[in-house]
Structure 1
Amino acid sequence: MSRVVFFGVDLHGHVNPTLGLIHKLIERGEEVFYYCSDPFREKIEQTGATFRSYQGLLSFGRHNGTGIETLLIFADFIMDKCRNIVEALREEVRELQPDYIIHDSFCLWGKELAAELQIPGISVFSNFPFIDEMAKKDPAFFMDVVLLASDDPLYLKHKGQHDLYKKLMDKLSRVIGLKYGKPSMNVMNDIFCSKEPLNLVFTSREFQIYEEVFDDTHVFAGYEIYPREEPLDFPFEQLDGRPLIYAAFGTILHNLSELYQACFDALGDSKYQVVMSLGIQTDVASLGPVPDNFIVRPYVPQLKLLGRADAFITHGGANSIYESLCSAVPMIVLPQVFDEFMGALMVERSGTGIYLRDQRPTKEQLREMVEEVLENPLYREKCEWIMQSFKSAGGLEHAVDKVIQFAKQKVCHE
Structure 2
Amino acid sequence: MKTAFFSMLPAWGHLNPTIKLAQCLQKLGYRCVFASTPEFREVIIKNGFELVLSQSKPFGLGLEDMQYENTSSPYLESLLDRFQDLSYNERKKDYEKWLNKYQPDLILVDSFYSTDFILIESLIRQSVIKLVFVQTMLSPYNDGFTPPLNTFILPDNANKVKIAWQKMKIKRALSQSFDLIRFLGLSNSLLIKRKFKQNHILKKYAIIDDKVFHVGFQSIEEWVLAPQEIEFLGKPKNTNQHYLGLMTDTQKQILPDNLQNFVNNAKSQNKKIIYASLGTLHNVHTKGKSAHFFEKLCSIFEKDNNCYLILSVGKELKNNLKTASKHIKILETVPQRGLLKEVNVFITHGGLNSVLESAYAGVPMLLVPLNNKWDQNGNTARVVYHGLGIKAKLKDSKKAIENTINELLNNPIYQQKTQIFSEVLYEKYSNESFLEDFFSTELLVQ
Structure 1 length normalisation: TM-score? Answer: 0.79
Does residue 186 (structure 1) correspond to residue 193 (structure 2)? The answer is no
Structure of greater relative contact order (alpha carbons < 8 Å, 6+ residues apart): 1
Shift of 1:47: 2.3
Match of 2:132 among 122, 140, 143: 122
Identity among equivalent pairs (%): 20
Does residue 348 (structure 1) correspond to residue 371 (structure 2)? The answer is no
Shift of 1:164: 6.0
Do 2:224 and 2:241's aligned partners in 1 also have CA atoms closer than 8 Å? Answer: yes
Partner residue in 1 for 2:277: 248
Match of 2:224 among 197, 201, 221: 201
Deviates more, 1:112-121 or 1:290-299: 112-121
Unaligned stretches of 5+ residues in structure 2: 67-80, 154-161, 181-186, 198-205
Q: Deviations over 1:285-305 (max 9, x none)?
A: 423435331100111111111
Instruction: Provide the secondary structure at the position in 1 that maps to 2:25.
Output: helix
Closer/same/farther in 2, CA of residues 352 and 30 from structure 1, 3 Å limit: same
Closer/same/farther in 2, CA of residues 294 and 24 from structure 1, 3 Å limit: same
Do 1:2 and 1:99's aligned partners in 2 also have CA atoms closer than 8 Å? Answer: yes
Partner residue in 2 for 1:68: none
Does residue 238 (structure 1) correspond to residue 262 (structure 2)? The answer is yes
Name the aligned partner's letter for residue 125 of structure 1: Q
Closer/same/farther in 2, CA of residues 222 and 301 from structure 1, 3 Å limit: same
Question: For the residues of structure 1 that align with 2:219 and 2:252, how far apart are their CA atoms?
Answer: 29
Partner residue in 1 for 2:105: 99
Instruction: Provide the secondary structure at the position in 2 that maps to 1:34.
Output: strand
- Over alpha carbons, which structure has the higher Rg? 2
Do 1:309 and 1:329's aligned partners in 2 also have CA atoms closer than 8 Å? Answer: yes
Name the aligned partner's letter for residue 91 of structure 1: K
Question: For the residues of structure 2 that align with 1:57 and 1:143, how far apart are their CA atoms?
Answer: 24
Q: Deviations over 1:360-386 (max 9, x none)?
A: 221111111111111122212222333
Closer/same/farther in 2, CA of residues 195 and 377 from structure 1, 3 Å limit: farther
Deviates more, 1:233-242 or 1:3-12: 233-242
CA RMSD, Structure 1 to Structure 2 (Å):
3.5
Deviates more, 1:42-51 or 1:190-199: 190-199
Partner residue in 2 for 1:177: 189
Shift of 1:55: 3.4
Shift of 1:2: 1.6
Partner residue in 2 for 1:132: 142
Shift of 1:333: 0.3
Instruction: Provide the secondary structure at the position in 2 that maps to 1:265.
Output: helix
Name the aligned partner's letter for residue 124 of structure 2: L
Match of 1:283 among 313, 317, 335: 317
Unaligned stretches of 5+ residues in structure 1: 64-75, 148-158
Do 1:327 and 1:387's aligned partners in 2 also have CA atoms closer than 8 Å? Answer: yes
Instruction: Provide the secondary structure at the position in 1 that maps to 2:414.
Output: helix
Partner residue in 1 for 2:11: 11
Report matched runs for 1:10-409 at 5 Å. 10-55=10-55, 57=57, 84-108=90-114, 110-112=116-118, 114-115=120-121, 116-118=123-125, 119-133=129-143, 136-137=144-145, 141-142=147-148, 145=151, 172=176, 175-180=187-192, 181=194, 182=196, 185-188=207-210, 191-192=214-215, 197-209=220-232, 212-226=235-249, 227=251, 232=256, 234-239=258-263, 240=265, 241=267, 242-254=271-283, 255=288, 256-270=290-304, 271-280=306-315, 282-337=316-371, 338-356=374-392, 358-391=393-426, 396-403=432-439, 405-406=441-442, 408-409=444-445
Q: Deviations over 1:335-391 (max 9, x none)?
A: 0023111111111111000011x2222111111111111112221222233334435
Name the aligned partner's letter for residue 32 of structure 1: C
Do 1:132 and 1:188's aligned partners in 2 also have CA atoms closer than 8 Å? Answer: yes
Closer/same/farther in 2, CA of residues 13 and 185 from structure 1, 3 Å limit: same
Deviates more, 1:343-352 or 1:398-407: 398-407
Do 1:107 and 1:194's aligned partners in 2 also have CA atoms closer than 8 Å? Answer: no
Partner residue in 1 for 2:203: none
Question: For the residues of structure 2 that align with 1:160 and 1:88, how far apart are their CA atoms?
Answer: 41
Do 1:201 and 1:218's aligned partners in 2 also have CA atoms closer than 8 Å? Answer: yes
Do 1:146 and 1:339's aligned partners in 2 also have CA atoms closer than 8 Å? Answer: no
Deviates more, 1:326-335 or 1:164-173: 164-173
